Structure 1
Amino acid sequence: MSVLQMLREPSYLANKEVASVQNANCVVMVPPKEFKFNAETAADNEFQNQVSLTDSIVRLQAMTEFDAMVATLRAEGVQVVVFDYPESKCETPDAVFPNNWFSTTANGEFFTFPMACENRRQEVRPAALVEALTAAGRTVAKQDSLESYLDVNAHLESTGVMVIDHINQTIYAALSQRCDREVLEDYAERIGYQKVVSFQTALPSGNPIYHTNVMMAIGERFCVICDEVIPEFERRFVLKSLAKDKQIISISIEQMNQFCGNILQLETASGERVIAMSQSAYDAFSSAQRAQLASHGKLLAFDVSTIENIGGGSVRCMLGEVFLPKRGL
């Protein structure tokens, strides 16, 4: 038995019935008040870019983008929990991307994850977030953590590296230093999901994709994927698995670089479907692809050019899905 396997705790969800709901109707968003270029994450994130603007100007622009996104989502009927916490001695430049350190389930579980970069681990504040979620009317029945894997330098950056088909209880994940296979399989076991589809990727540079959610997105009945970055022998298997009940919308590397893969289908309070994406992604989709996506929900395009250019993540990265049940239900 490996050290990683020895770290695993018995699954308390293995025999539990799991909800098959794909879209969250509530999201967590974190204000980019400490946002700037993160040199630590840039080591393996080829989507980040340095700019000549001062940190104060960058943060002002990022906050403007953030506020507009929050306002629009709320106006459309999506519940947004703005998680604002006091600044600490250690800056958290990527806190605007909260989906990398926590996840929730419809059964009321709240998980935290082992982050690869040291300064990103400062973002992990479960007690404060659980308090905020409770205040927002959501129920946290149980908390769990995979952070003990940091002891053996193994990482799993939540829904940054896991793109989940909740309907089919299947997790898709591109393996990298931010996505360890054994931690991935442990998480799947803990939430009772029976299938994990993990695969390798390669950018033109030869490096792997840093986060799966920049190359693919899964909705109820569609999947956007940059399949050309997956080796051919694995690509066929991934596409076959997705094609069982999903319309596949294939994007190019150029489109992926405009964050066409970093989109998220959500549900409004009235049960309508919306698909959140950046303006750069919207513009990079072909008219035919936009029409395909629009058949699955109203397209919401947000100008987050400062955040995605400097931070190397876009709209989907800014949205931490909340599947927790509403209090009293």
Structure 2
Amino acid sequence: MQTTSHILMIRPVQFGFNAQTAVNNAFQQVNNETGVQEKAQQEFDRFVALLRGHGVDVTVIDDTPQPHTPDSIFPNNWISFHHDGSVILYPMFAENRRLERKPHIIGKIAEQFRIGRTTDLSDFEAKNLYLEGTGSMVLDRTHKVAYACLSPRTHPEVLKAFADATGYETVEFHAADAQGVAIYHTNVLMCIGDDYAVICLDAIPSKEERKYVEEKLKGSRKTVIAITLDQMNHFAGNMLQVQSLRGRKLLVMSTQAFSSLTPGQITELSSFNPIVHAPLDVIEKNGGGSARCMMAEIHLPGKG
């Protein structure tokens, strides 16, 4: 199943602009804003309330002050959870992001869900090779296909290790913004729902790769909904389809992303599922990630 009603979110305690990630994350904006942690925490709490209000089961775990992990609000980069009970840990580019792999988080998840095999890919960090979870990959879980734009944070050798561990097919391509800068994470340019895919095809410079990705999506019976480079820059690709505990599908995004969509795109997306959105401006500006990055889907079997 592509979607889940169970989501892990990490409540920040020291959120802020991370210089270690800014070297290859063009979505971060250098600024002198004050009170960033408090504002981000307010945005986080409102976002959680929105999801819970729509019947999504959100497991919120507070981050710890030490070690300092300014990007802990984006847990989907270092861990993923799968239907067969497996958990995968990923190699992270920024040294201070590697500290996000905190045992108490996995322990908390294990209280409610059954965890079987754990595959730890973090040893690749010693070789300076990275794969940042469902940031680096956008997973078609139904068809077991992992879409990945290669970048300093997404290396084909680690992708192969992921594929070997999970049985996923990988679709690798290159993507860049309007300035020709490599897109740091695949999940800022595309989202896969059960029956559709939102993607910035204009971000794939190679006509051959663009055709390859589009045909692969259509071959999986996805309706392809294209967004522009400008919309991608407003996080319109950083969406996630989830479902309520009653099975109602929802497409979740930030208010900035929603506001960038055309009426036609909104109508088309709403024909598949309702859209819900929350303002995440402070998190987006300082963290360079948006709604999808904040949600780690829990596809593990439950206990009891």
Band the TM-score falls in, shorter-chain normalisation: over 0.9
CA distance in 2, matches of 1:50, 1:141: 41
CA distance in 1, matches of 2:94, 2:47: 27
Letter in 2 for 1:47: F
> CA offset at residue 184 of structure 1?
0.6
1:117-138, Cα deviation, whole Å (9 max, x unpaired): 101111111x212211123x21
Structure number with bigger Rg: 1
Residue of structure 2 in register with 1:80 after alignment: 58
Residue of structure 1 in register with 2:27 after alignment: 47
Residue of structure 1 in register with 2:81 after alignment: 104
Runs of 4+ in structure 1 displaced over 6 angstroms? none
Letter in 1 for 2:108: A
Confirm or deny that 1:58 pairs with 2:33: no
Confirm or deny that 1:141 pairs with 2:121: no
Partner-residue secondary structure (3-state), 2:41 = helix
> CA offset at residue 144 of structure 1?
1.7
1:55-96, Cα deviation, whole Å (9 max, x unpaired): xx11111111100111111121111111213211x4211111
Residue of structure 1 in register with 2:175 after alignment: 201
TM-score (norm 2): 0.97
CA distance in 1, matches of 2:162, 2:28: 28
Kindly indicate whether the alpha-carbon contact (under 8 Å) linking 2:13 and 2:63 is maintained by their aligned counterparts in 1: no
Residue of structure 2 in register with 1:118 after alignment: 95
Give the percent of matched residue pairs that are identical in Structure 1 and Structure 2. Answer: 38
CA distance in 1, matches of 2:231, 2:130: 28
Partner-residue secondary structure (3-state), 1:71 = helix
Kindly indicate whether the alpha-carbon contact (under 8 Å) linking 1:130 and 1:140 is maintained by their aligned counterparts in 2: no
Confirm or deny that 1:227 pairs with 2:201: yes
Partner-residue secondary structure (3-state), 2:148 = strand
CA distance in 1, matches of 2:121, 2:299: 19
Equivalences for residues 192-271 of structure 1 within 5 A: 192-193=167-168, 195-230=169-204, 231-244=206-219, 245-271=221-247
Partner-residue secondary structure (3-state), 2:11 = coil
> CA offset at residue 51 of structure 1?
2.1
CA distance in 2, matches of 1:53, 1:254: 24
Confirm or deny that 1:163 pairs with 2:138: yes
Confirm or deny that 1:152 pairs with 2:127: yes
| 1:317 alignment partner, one of 288, 293, 304 | 293
Partner-residue secondary structure (3-state), 1:103 = strand
Q: CA RMSD in A?
A: 1.0
CA distance in 1, matches of 2:7, 2:130: 23
| 2:272 alignment partner, one of 288, 296, 302 | 296
Kindly indicate whether the alpha-carbon contact (under 8 Å) linking 1:176 and 1:210 is maintained by their aligned counterparts in 2: yes
CA distance in 2, matches of 1:212, 1:123: 20
CA distance in 1, matches of 2:276, 2:110: 28
CA distance in 1, matches of 2:115, 2:105: 10
CA distance in 1, matches of 2:63, 2:50: 22
CA distance in 1, matches of 2:188, 2:13: 23
Letter in 2 for 1:42: A
Kindly indicate whether the alpha-carbon contact (under 8 Å) linking 1:29 and 1:81 is maintained by their aligned counterparts in 2: yes
Letter in 1 for 2:209: E
CA distance in 1, matches of 2:18, 2:125: 21
Kindly indicate whether the alpha-carbon contact (under 8 Å) linking 2:82 and 2:300 is maintained by their aligned counterparts in 1: yes
Kindly indicate whether the alpha-carbon contact (under 8 Å) linking 1:23 and 1:265 is maintained by their aligned counterparts in 2: yes
CA distance in 1, matches of 2:125, 2:144: 26
CA distance in 2, matches of 1:204, 1:273: 33
CA distance in 2, matches of 1:180, 1:251: 25
> CA offset at residue 178 of structure 1?
0.4
> CA offset at residue 264 of structure 1?
0.2
> CA offset at residue 166 of structure 1?
1.0
Partner-residue secondary structure (3-state), 2:147 = strand
What stretches of structure 1 of length at least 5 have no aligned partner?
A: 1-20
CA distance in 2, matches of 1:212, 1:260: 12
Letter in 1 for 2:197: C
1:131-164, Cα deviation, whole Å (9 max, x unpaired): 11123x2111222200111121110000001001
